[in-house]
Amino acid sequence: MVEVELLDAGLLERVRQPSGHETLRVTDAGVACIAETLQRNRATRDAHESLVERVAREMTRNGRIAWRGLSLRAKVGDAWAMAMPDVFSIRNTSVEDYLEPVVHEIKVRRADLLADLKREAKRAAYLQLCGECWYVIRDGIAQADEIPSECGVLVASDSALEVARPAPRRAMRMPFQAWMVLARSTPLAGWHSDESQGWLGAPIAP
């Protein structure tokens, strides 16, 4: 049925071979459509990755250790589910009870956000891995009250990340399997400055 629709739209054409059988070939209009789609998807992906980087950097500036693109297992009901938060961070502390793990899920397109909100099991997996779960949405794609109440909402404009609704904070301890994934993964390089070294008591280079 997809082929029929593409033929009707002029994006494919039927070509009869000398042997008598027919093949399908992408038309010039089809090539242009593919190129436009790729460019649009690339722009969306770049915008998404840029905001992921921005949020992760903000976490490190707040004294946290941040990872991007982790694949974590979480127990949801009686089954295991894979969770892949855009940004996962913990406090920079040696006391396990003070880690305060946080998940940030990044959305720059309304369609992607609405599709994600239908995935209750995914959200439940996030909540099993963190004490706070946030949706970071590009300004203008949704209202805070469209996001489930168990999650906080950050709105990203060109100049700021603003809290539209705080995330409920829950006490939790990191599950062992999450620790193992973190041990095998490389966090984002932390934010450094001469002042921070001074706070640690290290000499400041002239």
| pTM as predicted | 0.73
Cα separation values, 206 from 18, 124, 153, 195, 203, Å: 79, 51, 42, 12, 9
* pLDDT for position 193: 43
Please write the tens of the pLDDT for every residue from 24-76.
888 888 788 887 777 766 666 789 999 999 999 999 999 999 999 899 999 88
> Other C-beta atoms within 10 Å of 123: how many?
21
Residue 109 has pLDDT above 90, yes or no: yes
The reply to whether 68 falls in a domain is yes
Q: Which long-range contacts (CB under 8 A, 24 or more apart) does 84-87 make?
A: 85/126, 85/129, 85/130, 86/52, 86/55, 86/136, 87/52, 87/55, 87/56, 87/59
In which residue are the tokens 């009686």 written?
78
Distance CA 154, CA 133 (A): 11
Provide the domain limits for residue 141.
Answer: 53-187
CA 168 to chain centre: 20
* pLDDT for position 160: 94
Computed over every residue of the chain, the mean pLDDT equals 87
The reply to whether 4 falls in a domain is no
Residue 198 has pLDDT above 90, yes or no: no
**Residues 169, 182 contacting (CB under 8 angstroms):** no
**Residues 103, 87 contacting (CB under 8 angstroms):** yes
* pLDDT for position 17: 86
The reply to whether 178 falls in a domain is yes
The reply to whether 32 falls in a domain is no
Distance CA 77, CA 175 (A): 15
CATH number, domain with residue 114: 3.40.1350
- Residue 29 CB partners (closer than 8 Å, separation 6+): 9, 10, 11
The reply to whether 164 falls in a domain is yes
The reply to whether 199 falls in a domain is no
- Residue 5 CB partners (closer than 8 Å, separation 6+): none
**Between 169 and 11, the higher pLDDT residue:** 169
Distance CA 142, CA 150 (A): 17
Residue 199 has pLDDT above 70, yes or no: no
Q: How many domains does the chain have?
A: 1
* pLDDT for position 191: 54
The reply to whether 12 falls in a domain is no
**% of residues, the chain, pLDDT over 90:** 59
**Tokens representing residue 123 in the block:** 């959200």
Of the ranges 88-97, 142-151, 186-195, the best mean pLDDT one: 142-151
Please write the tens of the pLDDT for every residue from 136-156.
999 999 999 999 999 999 999
Average pLDDT over residues 176-180: 91
The reply to whether 34 falls in a domain is no
